[in-house]
Amino acid sequence: MPEKPGSVVGVAFTETMRGYMALAPQSSHAMAEIEGRLQGQRLEFTVTATFPDVGAMIAASAGIGRLDGTVTAPALGPAPFQVEGGVFHLFERDPAHPQTLLMRYRMPMRGNGRDLVLHGRKTIRDDLGLDMWSDTTTLDTDIETPSGESVARGIVHISAHDFARQLTTMKAVGAAGPTEALWAVTQFGTFFEERLRQVYGGIFGQSEVSPAFRPTRALRCGAGERFPVCTADGVELRLTRFRGGAKGPVLLTPGFGTSTLAYLVDTVETNLPEFLFERGYDVWLLDYRSSPDLPSAATQFTLDDIARHDYPAAVGFIRQHTGAADIQVMAHCVGSLTLEMALALGLTGVRSAICSQLTLHPRPPLLNRIKSGLYLADLLHGASVDTMSTDFRGNWFEEVFDAVLRLYPSNYQRSASPVVRRILFMYGDVIKLENLNRATYEAIPAMFGVANLSTFVHLGRIMRTGHAVAADGAEAYLPHADRLALPILFLHGAENGLFLPEGSAETMAVLAARNGGHWYSRQVVPGYAHMDCFIGKDAACDVYPLVAAELDRHNPAAGPGGDR
């Protein structure tokens, strides 16, 4: 850890909270919030909290910071109230409850011809259930006159999106250089984590470091045959072949930032390549340039590069090597999106396709965790951060980052694994953990790895646009939707917390309007989310038969030719 600087160094961050209030309330904060919601009386504030001396705060086990910003309460005045010189008491002990800490806010509000004071209180206490997120993001609020007369009461909250933005505002104050700045921010993170650990114990306890992945059984499809494939722009990809028969050939492509181990995982009784191999398919797996198993994963590239170069190289190699006139493709997530982009660019030789989870019209949920990661990508990339990794090495900086990620909300991923928390932060809710067995859960770190920020920036642009565009924003794909006139099954988990099923429905509707509905079908799988469709403990019963049936529908009897 960096040494403590000789000078006084502080930290600052900006916090936004939103909620509702009731005027002159006679009831509790909770009832006032309900009343305010019914009456449409919004209350929100955005303030910068500055703690001037991190070292002193750690020594005292509590901190006092300054608050400056604005409070917006239309029921009290049309213009925002200015806040200057407010006070933030961080982790103050509650004298009446020894196991309780408080965060207290006092904000003098000036504006609209009046002076008011906002008092806020967060109560940090380990009640039954997973209450840490609500405790640290819920503020009971009272607004009074300077003499103490009650004006309004309510509750404000930090949303998941605002919390993610808050993480990006953390900065050092008074640091002489980057080393002192790093010391201040990491010390503040450690202090924050340790104080919460004292209250929540097991919930905020020791990180569970996933064991190194070890094979558990021999694959029934064998070890496979590997082929290096070079793209037109000079990137080496990898194809792995499992020759189970003359059906196909079928190409399987994984999502972004994962290797083909996402398909080959041997911790389930039957994985997808085995399932198809045993049904007579010539199965090929593609590690395209984002695979953490390849050196190219740590370089900068966009989805355009995968669509323009990787798919043509892989499809062309398989056709040439097997003598097949065309192939079938089963593509997942970014592999699916870039397949559709490649087809729009003119990719030929694909007989039929199965596009899983992500299509030309991504629809993330309103509070989707990937949204924060994508909007952060531009900021991180602009700060010369080129890659992010799901790897967890257990050193001091990793521990601090993991401590912050423990606060990150999730629909599914309540996990003690720091790697799973990083996957949540970088990608979103990619797995419904209850669909995994323990061995697969422990294998997750081996499936993910480094991911470049240029691709996240491109994904962010696509999300904001609402449909697939080039990295520079050009409409390179939808104008050529007529090139996707081929049999496509859109496969979607009903509980996908990363991309809503509505996205594949929209893509199917757009393509059907252009090319005719007879080309397309869609299957929504109940009880499944995203990646668990392929690594889930029951996927061989619930999902794989859907894949095989679709492949069989468009798989004529193989004829002579090549080495098929």
DSSP string, 229-288: EE-TTS-EEEEEEEE--SEEEEEEE--TTB-THHHH-SSSSS-HHHHHHTTTEEEEEEE-
pLDDT tens string, the chain, 564 residues long: the values are: 444 555 789 999 999 999 999 997 778 999 999 999 999 999 999 999 999 998 888 888 788 999 999 999 999 999 999 999 999 998 887 766 656 788 899 999 999 999 999 999 988 765 544 445 566 788 999 999 999 999 999 999 987 667 767 777 888 899 888 778 877 887 887 777 677 666 554 333 434 344 444 445 789 999 899 999 999 999 999 999 999 999 989 999 998 878 898 899 888 999 999 999 999 999 999 999 988 888 888 788 999 999 999 999 999 999 999 999 999 999 999 999 999 999 999 999 999 999 999 999 998 875 444 444 444 444 444 433 444 443 334 443 344 444 444 444 444 344 434 444 444 444 456 778 788 887 887 777 667 665 677 787 888 889 889 999 999 999 999 999 999 999 999 999 999 988 899 999 999 999 999 999 999 999 999 999 999 999 999 999 999 999 999 999 998 754 433 344
Determine the Cα–Cα distance for residues 33 and 396; give it in Å rounded to an integer: 41
Helix, coil or strand: residue 262: helix
Determine the Cα–Cα distance for residues 108 and 102; give it in Å rounded to an integer: 20
Helix, coil or strand: residue 298: helix
Judge contact between 49 and 162, C-beta under 8 A: no
Q: Which of 272, 176, 199, 190 is nearest to 542 (CA)?
A: 272
Residue with tokens 């081929």: 486
The dihedral over CA atoms of 312, 318, 323, 326, expressed in degrees to the nearest 10, equals -60
- pLDDT, residue 326, reads 97
Count of residues making up the chain: 564
Determine the Cα–Cα distance for residues 22 and 42; give it in Å rounded to an integer: 9
Residue with tokens 């990006």: 168
The end-to-end CA distance of the chain, in Å, is 58
Q: Which of 272, 300, 315 is nearest to 451 (CA)?
A: 300
Which phi and psi angles does 562 have, rounded to 5°?
55, -145
Helix (H) or strand (E) holding 71: strand 63-72
Give, in words, the CATH class of 225-364+452-553: alpha beta
Q: Please report, for the chain, the start and end positions of each structural domain, with discontinuous segments joined by +.
A: 10-204, 225-364+452-553
Q: Which of 325, 286, 328, 281 is nearest to 309 (CA)?
A: 286
Determine the Cα–Cα distance for residues 200 and 475; give it in Å rounded to an integer: 50
